[in-house]
Amino acid sequence: MELQKKNSAQQDSLTAKFGYEQELHGSMNIIQLTAFGLNYMLPLAPAVIFGVLLTTSGGTVALPFLLAGCAMLLTANSYSVMVKNFPLAGSVYSYVGRGWNPHLGFLAGWVITLDYVLIPTVTSVSAAYLVQQYFPGIPFWVLLAAFSIGIGILNLFGVELMSKMGIWFLLLGEFVVWGCILVWGRAVYANDVGTGTLFSTQPFHFDSLEGLVGATSLAVLSFLGFDAITTMAEETRNPKKDIPRAIFLCVGIGLVTMVVCSYTAMLVIPDWRNYVSDENWINTVLYQVSVISGGEGFGLFYSAGFLSSLAVFNLVATAAGSRLLYGMGRDNLLPKGIFAGVNKRFNTPHYNIMMIVAIEFILGSTVDIGTISNLVNYGAFFGFAALNLSVIWLYYVKKKREGLKLNSSQIWKPTGWNHLQFFVLPALGFAVIVYVWAGMDRLALLLGTVWLVLGIFFLYKRTSGFKTLPPQLDQ
């Protein structure tokens, strides 16, 4: 009890330092944070976009996940640096805004809302499609509504319930995914299906570099859990220490799981080109792989595990998105009465949660899932690029200019190995992000840029032509 009070007091002082009142309850530890991020990544993350990655790359899913994961490790370094400086809710909105420029921070937050508002739609639609495989008589919109509203209600109960449930759901999800990997691998090893060998270059074949880059840009969607961890900074006992560690654990574990899962699944279906004309097959590839490897019974096991993982993923995504909107509403860049509203009983930003659920249902009923997935990544790439540059600006311009301090010692003049963490890795992360970003779907680039322009116009009006700042950011 005393330790809990001490941690709460420390979090209060950290939040007060930046001009905020502590309204969210700091209770999460490193294990809960890591589970939160991994649940956002989804233990069966490849299943959601497996078919799209397969057709886009022309034969490989493991390689896009490997490349995307390595790129995310570079950006994870920048996140770990920034959270030590600014342990606040709001993700890149807070980091870019305070590390570089408040107006740029708003735009980073504005664009990355595409991730947090739209990604629950992807999971809800995927869940509804899979359930329809077993209950084709139930209308799609009914399944979509039941899934999205049910998860929204759970979110309203608060982060403590979610963090306690998250560890058990993560263990369940990992049990399912590694169980699937073992069954798929056993079927291949027994020469019942696929390549007949567990060691093959087949899962890494691709048609073109352009297709591989396009698939890699989509694969980033599955690694956004490490960004979601940072949205819980004000609900963490020791954010400066625990969040950076949880970020790297999350990316590392997720990377290994996704690559091994994708590699093994492709061993089962080296003849994938025979099935790509079937849209239903493309939308449920890993379900089909499970049926081929273990029969209908094992397909049901996979489906139960996948639906559970999707539910947890949606729960975490909605929680993270509501906190990002909360951070922007608290600074009055979005209407404060709505976006910064906190339920006094459960300490949750309830209006944001209800808004995300409504958008989830409307878009899920009307917009193609492929278009939504690409838009999600547009927001991620913009935010990641801005974040990497913000680290460089903070340590090589702002700290020097303002004489800021970190951990009670002036380090605004990096020396030695500091240059690696504060300049080399962020610069490399920025370059990789921009290269992959350029390989995105052209329609997604257009729609995402339209959203960015709308954000610029909104910010111009909100800040009287970029002349004013929210009081909390003007410190």
Q: Model confidence over 314-349: pLDDT tens digits? A: 877 787 778 778 877 887 777 888 888 887 777 778
Confidence of residue 3 (pLDDT cuts 50, 70, 90): very low
Q: Mean pLDDT of all residues in the chain?
A: 81
Which residue segments constitute the domains of the chain, with CATH numbers given?
24-473 (1.20.1740.10)
HEC sequence for the chain? CHHHHHHHHHHHHHHHHCCCCCCCCCCECHHHHHHHHHHHHCCCHHHHHHHHHHHHHCCCCHHHHHHHHHHHHHHHHHHHHHHHHCCCCCCHHHHHHHHCCHHHHHHHHHHHHHHHHHHHHHHHHHHHHHHHHHCCCCCHHHHHHHHHHHHHHHHHCCHHHHHHHHHHHHHHHHHHHHHHHHHHHHHHHCCCCCCCCCCCCHHHCCCCHHHHHHHHHHHHHHHCHHHHHHCCHHHECCHHHHHHHHHHHHHHHHHHHHHHHHHHHHHHCCCHHHCCCCHHHHHCHHHHHHHHHHHHHHHHHHHHHHHHHHHHHHHHHHHHHHHHHHHHHHCCCCCHHHHCCCECCCCECHHHHHHHHHHHHHHHHHCCHHHHHHHHHHHHHHHHHHHHHHHHHHHHHHHHHHCCCECCECCCCCCCCHHHHHHHHHHHHHHHHHHHHHCCCHHHHHHHHHHHHHHHHHHHHHCCCCCCCCHHHCC
Confidence of residue 411 (pLDDT cuts 50, 70, 90): very low
Q: Model confidence over 292-318: pLDDT tens digits? A: 999 999 998 888 888 887 877 787 778
The whole-model pTM stands at 0.78
Look at residue 173 and tell me whether its pLDDT is greater than 90: no
Q: Model confidence over 153-169: pLDDT tens digits? A: 877 776 555 556 667 77
How high is the pLDDT of residue 281? 87
How high is the pLDDT of residue 304? 86
